Structure 1
């Protein structure tokens, strides 16, 4: 029977744990501070997913067309991204859909 000491277990845990903090607490606090922005981000994500389905495209296809990683697209469609205007415009151009309407005057 393999009896590990507490120190052995802690050492093993430290060897597999991430070197840097995931900063999840900071992200959660930021999201809680601006629920309207988070809601709009989720709406954009839903619209991206709907248009991908309509076009028969995958998230990977979108990533390739935008020259970003599939992980980036995945974070967008989770509805947790703080999109830049540039990113939104690029997505709109590739998908042929308006994600944010802007009124003039």
Structure 2
């Protein structure tokens, strides 16, 4: 009976009219905790996007070349994916870039310019 009451209370809490920001707070904490890798992931995403543009290659073509789904490529190129060394290497090889090329930080002015370009597309 106590377990049923606990579940009932949880459901009532979820249905309450009072707003709860636990999900937003959880996401904020997760992003803050992972900020160092997140910045690198965004750098990799911007570098790959730039290289795809240079090669006139679509995300679908990249997915086919690597042998993965286009949805996975899309996740990677949103800059929120924690890459493995294998993934970084596969991405780099597929677009003719080294691991070092992919993760090298952008100069401040160049990073802002690339983010503006990404927002335009």
Q: What range describes the TM-score normalised by the shorter chain of this pair?
A: 0.5 to 0.7
CA RMSD, 1 decimal: 2.0
C-alpha distance in structure 2 between counterparts of 1:68 and 1:26, whole Å: 30
Are 2:103 and 1:100 aligned?
A: yes
Higher helix fraction: Structure 1 or Structure 2?
Answer: 2
3-state DSSP of counterpart to 1:43: helix
Unaligned runs of 5+ in 2: 1-22, 105-121
Question: Which residues of 2 match residues 17-28 of structure 1 at below 5 A?
Answer: 28=28
Q: Which residue of 2 aligns with 1:50?
A: 50
Change (3 A) 1:47 1:33: same
How many matched pairs? Answer: 79
3-state DSSP of counterpart to 2:103: coil
Question: Which residues of 2 match residues 20-39 of structure 1 at below 5 A?
Answer: 28-39=28-39
Unaligned runs of 5+ in 1: 1-22
TM-score if structure 2 supplies the norm length? 0.59
Deviation at residue 36 of structure 1 after TM alignment:
1.5
